[in-house]
Structure formats: structure tokens, C-alpha cells
Amino acid sequence: MRLVGPVAGLAALAVGAAVLLTGAGRVALVLVAAVLLGLLVFLVVFFRDPERTAGDGIVSAADGRVLRVERADGRWVVSVFLSVVDVHINRLPLDGTFEAVETSGRGFRPAYRPDAASNVQRRYRLRTAIGPVDVVQITGIAARRLVSFVRPGDARRKGERFGMIVLGSRTDVLLPADRAEPTVRVGDRVRAGTSTIARILP
């Protein structure tokens, strides 16, 4: 994400406010400068996008803590909950071609609750070497904006960026149970693109 404009603007305002602090009794300006600098730090931390080398096997699509590892309808579902301090860039769990990008759902329930599965969400349908794989960005109370970097027909490699969730939420990876086996447990910390969440079965 390119935030040069917003970050530069906040930095300029903060510096300008600081310059005006030439005398005593300028409490209001001190508070304004502190707030602006706080916002600047938040933007820099929140929108960070570190370079990463893809890990082994099937990797996590998101940074955060594993919330769910369950088998349902012939697929493994691995859910990762992202807090507001996690990197929010989503990455491909394995090489694939995007067959569809679909938005659905209603509401913004807490992403860690089971009923969050019906929240506003964006599903990425992938064609991969192990069969159909879905990655789902799910909104939460604060996370109400889903950002896509890809379109149907795009091909990407494992670990490449495909989207972003603005503020904390949840990302699900759905894998064919006959071709993949989870290697993580609920509570594990994972990193997008580098942490292995499943191994490919022969």
C-alpha cells in the first residue's frame, strides 16, 4: 500500500504544530502535535508491508493467531484472527490462478465468534495443483474494508500479496481434505507467506 501522501501530510502537520510551540501556555498545540504524531506512528505500523520469502508446504494467508482448525464438507478450514497490531497484508497459501473474487454476507460481528462466518466477506476461489482452494477475508467490528489486489484470471505464486483487511479481522483458508493435512493447532501464531499451516499429501 502506498501511503506517502497521508503519512507526509500528517508529518507536515505535526512538524508545523511543533514549530508553533514558541512560548509557554501552548497546551492545545502540544496536544495536537502529540495526536498527529500518534496517528503518524499508527499509520506507519498498521500499513507496514515487510518483504518475505515463501515458506514450505501450504503457508498462512495472514498474520495472527490460529482460531480454528476443522474439517467440514470434505475440506480443512484453517482460520487466523488478525489483531490491530498484526500485518494486514494477505498472501497466497500456494501457487494458483484466481477463478473468482466474490463479495457476500451481512453484518460486522466480532471476527473471533462462530457467527462471524456470515459477516461481510470476500472469497477468492483459486485453481491450484492440489485442486480448488478458497481464501476468505472476513470483516469484524472494526474491520469493515476489504482490499483486493487481484482479479479473476490473475495467476500468482505462493507468498505473493493478493489483498488486505483494514483493521483486525479474520482470514480463512479452505483446503481439499484429500490433498492437504493441517500442521497447526488452535492458538499457534503464524505469519502470512512464511508459516506452514498444512502439508501437501501425495
pLDDT, tens digit (0-9, with 9 covering 90-100), for 150-179: 999 999 999 999 999 887 689 999 999 999
Q: What is the DSSP letter of 61?
A: S
Segment 50-66, tens digit of pLDDT: 899 999 999 999 999 99
Distance CA 81, CA 91 (A): 15
* Beta strand residue intervals within 22-95, DSSP E: 58-59, 64-72, 75-82, 89-91
Q: H or E stretch including 96?
A: strand 96-104
Q: What is the DSSP letter of 161?
A: E
CB 131 within 8 A of CB 176: yes
- Measured in whole angstroms, how far is the alpha carbon of residue 76 from the centre of its chain? 20
Look up 83 and say whether it is catalytic: no
Distance CA 125, CA 140 (A): 21
| pLDDT at residue number 2 | 46
Select which of 60, 118, 148, 169 is catalytic: 169
The contacts of residue 116 (CB under 8 Å, 6+ apart) are 109, 110, 138, 140, 170
**Residues linked to residue 90 through DSSP beta bridges, in sequence order:** 163
Q: Is the pLDDT of residue 27 over 60?
A: yes
* Edge-to-edge strand list for the sheet holding 161-166: 89-91, 161-166, 145-148
Q: Which of 115, 112, 117 is nearest to 65 (CA)?
A: 112
Q: Picking from 22-26, 63-67, 132-136, which range would have the lowest pLDDT averaged per residue?
A: 22-26
- Measured in whole angstroms, how far is the alpha carbon of residue 114 from the centre of its chain? 19
Distance CA 56, CA 82 (A): 22
